[in-house]
Amino acid sequence: MIVILSKDISPHDKEMARIYLKDRGFSVREQNFGEDAILGAIGKGVVDIRELGILPGVERVAATSKPYELASRETQSEDTIVTVGSVKIGGSRITVIAGPCAVESREQIRETAERVRESGAVILRGGAYKPRTSPYAFQGLGMKGLEFMKEAGEALNMPIVTEIVSTELADQIKDLTDMFQIGARNMQNFELLKKAGSLGKPVLLKRGPSATMEEWLMAAEYLLASGTKDVVLCERGIRTFETYTRNTLDISAIPVVKDLCHLPVIVDPSHAVGIRNKVAPAALAAIAAGADGLTVEVHPRPDTALSDGMQSLYPEQFERLMRDIEALAPVVGKELLRTPKTTVAAPGRSDVPPDAPDTRRNVENLPIAFSGESGAYAEQALMRVFGDDAHRVSLPSFKAVFDAALEGSVSAGVIPIENSLAGSIHENYDLFLRYPDIAIVGELKLRIMHCLIADERATIDGISIVRSHPQGFDQCREFLNKHLDWQLEPYANTASAVASIAREGAVKVAAIAGEAAAKAFGLKALKTGIETNPQNYTRFAIIARKAGDKAPVPPSLGSDQPNKASLVFSVSDEPGSLFICLKILSDKGLNLSKLESRPIQGRPWEYLFYIDVNLPQNTDVFNSAIEELKAKTRDFHFLGTYRAAR
């Protein structure tokens, strides 16, 4: 049973509610879930819910139908996002944990950490204490191994997770690890669960090889009831009659458990299949099924690994897997999480030279801007890049986003620049020319899934007016052609169209927008998936004000090497002028990923060329090409270098 307390409850009333429950045979645990403070009443006590509900400071009482009360979605409808150091697990981003099965030496864990970090892993895993089936197998380096892993994690700004194998060791390792792992063999070691939970650290809970989903969730309940609120569930395969693979990956557990509870669910494909070349397909299947992340075993030399070498990926295989995840993520409505590779110095830190240039302008404390209202596609893109809990501000227009970035009132802005069906959004490309001090610092590709949204009382037959951004109409033309009697009203953005219906209480008016906008304004989707082509993606640019020659990269974007640049220029009106420019890029071995022309405003029959270039590893080659281009072009604008979504 869950007792939700009012936000203004006094300490006295809270203690009275606690005593009331204890006197009736319950064990009571206070926790915070989202914005709500709750008392979890656990046990076989007896109480009159009506009497409990009228106690001072009690807002409501929720009697759950599940034995795992604290983990149940009946207790908390919103997904929990678990924070591990600087990394968040859950929400709209995919978090990847990687590292060796066991720490074998300082050099081995550091080399592995560097390789997986370079490929995009954000948490380092590794076993210091190894529970093994055979007493003669390698059991780990113990505390020395944990010290090696902590050292590697701190050097690369990676939180670490390691397995806790006994209650006696818990207090010894708690200050050396950022997250405990409860291994599959210990999932029902209840004393260990209680001890790990009582220490308040995040816990990665692996499913036992023969455990049902309910037993798995009950183990999570032990952790939550013991004190921690940060639990991540890990599906790592169960034991079945099949013997070809090490275990059988229960893909169905991912959507089922995410429906039953609010905790994030990740997958360990390495232990699930136990065969190196089968790990990547299993990992991608897990992402497609809705997993919030992966934990993958990687070793620089798997053939000589002291533990689980057969299922450990070579670093090159892991890098390819990360690229595949990055490509798949937008299809399932998520984004691969990346974090800065070095710790960002906090303002005023004594180890920063007083005369050092402040290239970041303390951007961490400023919001990120988007155009539109709550539920806009730009807001969804923002949350994919910066996290669901990112400090954000909505502005009335794309120009307002540029203005805010220029003024420094926001750390960054998110704007759409191209759609896979409707083409470039020229309004925003034109804004780059009007705001030369604004640069592109990042990119995201978001899958656009349109819905017909209306009031709860509305029906499709009763609709007479449909509102949306003009591109929303274009992207749903096939659906709209079936309703030629509908009047189309263009709006500045899709979310504003939805908001107008909510404000007016209109019943005969619908909007074309994303389902998130419907939820934001309490409306319903009359029909989903109305876009003409399901391969409908919008490319969003992350913009920021330049500091000197470069724009500071917001820490949430990470610090990966840029792999793309955007340029704009015009050429003289003479034969071969554009060819000469393209030949410069070709001769330097630079690949164009976009070339588009756009009329120059106020100069009839003259055109600007918008170019995206893939950056080489050798930046000197690119810089040389830019200098040659400047000499051969007019109206040259450099829009920025950034890490492009693959």
Dump pLDDT digits (tens) for 69-90: 889 988 788 899 999 998 999 9
**Is the whole model's pTM more than 0.75, yes or no?**
no
Q: What pLDDT sits at residue 348?
A: 35
**Any catalytic annotation for residue 540?**
yes
Q: What CA–CA distance (Å, rounded) separates 639 from 646?
A: 19
Q: What percent of the chain has pLDDT over 90?
A: 60
In the structure, what pLDDT confidence band is assigned to residue 36 with cuts at 50, 70 and 90? low
Q: 451-528 belongs to which CATH class?
A: alpha beta
Q: What CA–CA distance (Å, rounded) separates 518 from 460?
A: 16
Query: What tens digit of pLDDT does each residue of 507-534 get?
Result: 999 999 999 999 999 999 999 999 998 8
**Sequence-ordered list of residues with C-beta below 8 angstroms from that of 353, at least 6 positions apart, any chain:** none
Do residues 394 and 379 make contact, with C-beta atoms less than 8 angstroms apart?
yes
**Any catalytic annotation for residue 538?**
yes
The matching CATH number, chosen from 3.20.20.70, 3.30.70.1140, 1.20.1050.10, 3.40.190.10, for 2-62 is 3.30.70.1140
- Same CATH topology for 451-528 and 560-646: the answer is no
Q: What CA–CA distance (Å, rounded) separates 424 from 245?
A: 47
Q: What CA–CA distance (Å, rounded) separates 286 from 150?
A: 29
Domain 87-333: give its CATH code. Answer: 3.20.20.70
For 93, the enclosing helix (H) or strand (E) is strand 93-99
Residue 48 CB coordination number (10 Å): 9
> In terms of DSSP bridges, do strands 36-42 and 2-5 run parallel, antiparallel, or are they unpaired?
antiparallel
In the structure, what pLDDT confidence band is assigned to residue 555 with cuts at 50, 70 and 90? low
Q: Which of 386, 479, 540, 622 is catalytic?
A: 540
Q: What pLDDT sits at residue 208?
A: 96
Cβ neighbourhood burial of 579 (10 Å; 0-12, 13-18, 19+): exposed
Q: What percent of the chain has pLDDT over 70?
A: 92
Q: What pLDDT sits at residue 557?
A: 59
**Does residue 346 have a pLDDT over 50?**
no
Q: 560-646 belongs to which CATH class?
A: alpha beta
In the structure, what pLDDT confidence band is assigned to residue 433 with cuts at 50, 70 and 90? confident
Q: What is the mean pLDDT of the chain?
A: 88
In the structure, what pLDDT confidence band is assigned to residue 351 with cuts at 50, 70 and 90? very low
Q: What pLDDT sits at residue 603?
A: 75
> In terms of DSSP bridges, do strands 564-570 and 487-490 run parallel, antiparallel, or are they unpaired?
unpaired
Do residues 323 and 646 make contact, with C-beta atoms less than 8 angstroms apart?
yes
Q: CA distances (Å), 88 to each of 131, 211, 406, 572, in order?
A: 28, 27, 29, 51
Q: What CA–CA distance (Å, rounded) separates 269 from 247?
A: 10
Question: Hey, what amino acid is at 65?
Answer: S
Q: What pLDDT sits at residue 130?
A: 83
What are the domain boundaries of the chain?
2-62, 87-333, 451-528, 560-646
Nearest to 2 by CA among 50, 63, 76, 54: 63
Q: Which of 112, 228, 339, 538 is catalytic?
A: 538
**Does residue 343 have a pLDDT over 80?**
no
Q: CA distances (Å), 361 to each of 387, 410, 411, in order?
A: 21, 11, 9
Q: What pLDDT sits at residue 285?
A: 97
In the structure, what pLDDT confidence band is assigned to residue 357 with cuts at 50, 70 and 90? very low
Length of the chain counted residue by residue: 646
Among 376-380, 398-402, 642-646, where is mean pLDDT lowest?
642-646
Q: What pLDDT sits at residue 34?
A: 52
In the structure, what pLDDT confidence band is assigned to residue 559 with cuts at 50, 70 and 90? low
**Does residue 455 have a pLDDT over 90?**
yes
Q: What pLDDT sits at residue 344?
A: 40
In the structure, what pLDDT confidence band is assigned to residue 335 with cuts at 50, 70 and 90? confident
Q: What pLDDT sits at residue 382?
A: 92
